[in-house]
Amino acid sequence: MNTERFKENRIYDPKDIDDISYVKRLMEYESLIPGFSKEFSADPQGVLKKIGIPLTPRDVAFDPHTVENGNVIMNPKYPDTPAAKYARFMNSKFAHRDEIKKYCTPVNPAMKKWRERQICRCAIQLGAKFQSLIHAPFAIELSDGCSVGCPFCGLAAERLKSVFFHTPENAELFKGVINAAREIIGDAVSEGTLYFGTEPLDNPDYELFMKDFTDIFGNIPQITTARSTMYIERLRPLLAEINRTQKNVYRFSILSEKMAGEIFEAFTPQELILTELLPQYEEAPSCALVNSGKNGKDDDYGDTISCITGFVVNMARKDIKLATPVWASKEHPTGELILERAKFTDPEDFKEKILGMISRHMSNLIAPDDRIRLEDGISLELLEDKVVINTDRYVSVNLEAKGDLSIFKKIFDALGKGYRYKRDIVSELCVLGDGKIIPPEIVYYVINKWWGMGLIKTESGKV
């Protein structure tokens, strides 16, 4: 059960909270405050004193960092320093994220296979970006729209229209919906959030819904908020609970240098140890706004912040959408491939709609009359005992293989000729001009295998 999952896996040892949080606060100044790095380099001890960090330059010394699999690897210059504890803390957070991704696996067999295929597809299409996506199968929005109106919103949220209040009737519907989702998807629902293209704190009853969710799953849902400076006192007990349980990580979107200063003033480094401060303004040294949603340019899309491979439920509108991440484009400006939307009335109707979407969109075999081709940017290399498929996103897929590996090259070449019916590809490969015949069962097996690995796309848009 989810209540036990992180019982022994702490992100940090509480006895190290001061050392870790002070180094983290220094990193936040580096990422959020223009000119800070130059000032710190000129007088490290003076700057540490100025910003209230009781450490020495040796305590916070790092060698130049590296990037591995999309993760920034911190290299402390000296062992047994706060910097070394911070590096271990960051590694624990990455491991925690990967554990969540693994635990998000649905129990529904069709959805499980479908999600696995989307993860493989995203690895190929998105490259290193896919490392940060947990592919949660479920999320709930507690309002219709967002009050913040960030001009960079990667999900292009509309203005706030209404809020789903925690009335007795609404609370019953909310619990009925998440229990119905749990019945179909399993405890993976517990890794869902109570926001998506919304601001969680727009709902004055957020904490009540959070308690309902936590009572059912034993897990505190993650928050990303751009309203941290508006709700400082409201956030304090939430931060205390997340730090005590270490079951999740919060995020504050920081919209200006002024806002960063207000956060540093309002919260101690220890209070924010499990809260990531996201630099979302162009002057910030580490600002990295995504090219999607409101920030997508006509000819400069190509990013996503969508982390859902499954269902997003809006309680205020009583609707469901089934979606999975893709690169943002004119066709998919928010970086989501939205497969279907539907309205629901009550938990039973919700359950029926979810099952219907699974049946319609999570077919895990390619039919003979599907028109298919290879994904873009893929090449094949034959080695002695394996087939290596490389992508232009610097991702490689290794396939262990035996026998005549040229079969894989012939299938690969056939799939690279543009959209064609699966049955025609199989017929072509079964009667080759060189007199060799590839048994159809092998062709079907390889095509279905590659489909499951995200290497094949369909003309119909089935994913």
pLDDT at 67: 53
pLDDT at 368: 82
pLDDT at 429: 86
Q: What is the DSSP letter of 220?
A: P
Sorted by sequence, the CB contacts under 8 Å of residue 366 that are 6+ apart come out as 372, 422, 447, 448, 451, 456, 458
pLDDT tens by residue, 108-150:
999 999 999 999 888 888 877 777 889 999 999 999 999 999 8
Selected residue with higher pLDDT from 103 and 206: 206
The model's confidence at residue 390, banded by pLDDT at 50, 70 and 90, is confident
Selected residue with higher pLDDT from 52 and 370: 52
Amino acid at 34: P
Give the C-alpha separation, 241 to 222, whole Å. 12
Give the C-alpha separation, 366 to 426, whole Å. 12
What integer is the mean pLDDT of 289-302? 75
DSSP bridge pairs for 67:
72
pLDDT tens by residue, 34-79:
999 999 999 999 999 999 999 999 999 998 866 555 566 778 999 9
pLDDT tens by residue, 407-442:
888 899 999 999 999 999 988 888 766 667 788 888
Give the C-alpha separation, 199 to 268, whole Å. 24
In the chain, the percentage of residues whose pLDDT exceeds 90 is: 65
Q: Where are the beta strands (DSSP E) in 23-118?
A: 62-68, 71-76
CA proximity to 26, closest of 51, 63, 56: 51
pLDDT at 39: 97
On whether the CB atoms of residues 378 and 391 are closer than 8 A, the answer is: yes
Which residue in the block uniquely carries the two structure tokens 């690995």? 453
On whether the CB atoms of residues 162 and 313 are closer than 8 A, the answer is: no
Give the C-alpha separation, 95 to 77, whole Å. 22
On whether the CB atoms of residues 358 and 350 are closer than 8 A, the answer is: no
Residue 387: strand, helix, or coil: strand
Sorted by sequence, the CB contacts under 8 Å of residue 331 that are 6+ apart come out as none
Selected residue with higher pLDDT from 310 and 453: 310
Tokens of 313: 């439920």
Backbone angles phi, psi at 58, to 5 degrees: -65, -35
The enclosing H or E element of 162 equals strand 162-163
pLDDT tens by residue, 232-250:
999 999 999 999 999 889 9
Selected residue with higher pLDDT from 53 and 387: 53
pLDDT at 1: 40
Angle at 138 between CA 301 and CA 367, to 5 degrees: 75
pLDDT tens by residue, 154-206:
898 999 999 999 999 999 999 999 999 999 999 999 999 999 999 999 999 99
Go through the domains of the chain in sequence order and give each one's CATH number. 2-95 (no CATH), 106-226+280-361 (no CATH), 371-458 (3.90.930.60)
pLDDT at 138: 97
What integer is the mean pLDDT of 326-350? 93
The model's confidence at residue 2, banded by pLDDT at 50, 70 and 90, is very low
Question: How do strand 386-391 and strand 319-325 relate by DSSP bridges?
Answer: unpaired
The model's confidence at residue 324, banded by pLDDT at 50, 70 and 90, is very high
Which residue in the block uniquely carries the two structure tokens 């330059």? 57
Total Cβ atoms within 10 A of residue 436:
13
CA proximity to 267, closest of 218, 221, 219, 225: 225
pLDDT, the chain, mean: 90
Give the C-alpha separation, 426 to 441, whole Å. 9
- Asked whether the predicted pLDDT for residue 400 surpasses 50, the reply is yes
Q: What is the DSSP string of 329-380?
A: -SSSTTSEEEEEEEE-SSHHHHHHHHHHHHHHH---S--TT-EEEEPTTEEE
- Asked whether the predicted pLDDT for residue 261 surpasses 60, the reply is yes
Query: Sign of dihedral through CA atoms 12, 17, 19, 25?
Result: positive
pLDDT at 26: 97
pLDDT tens by residue, 348-362:
999 999 999 999 999
Q: What is the DSSP string of 114-149?
A: HHHHHHHHHHHHHGGGGGG---EEEEEESEESBSS-
The model's confidence at residue 6, banded by pLDDT at 50, 70 and 90, is very low
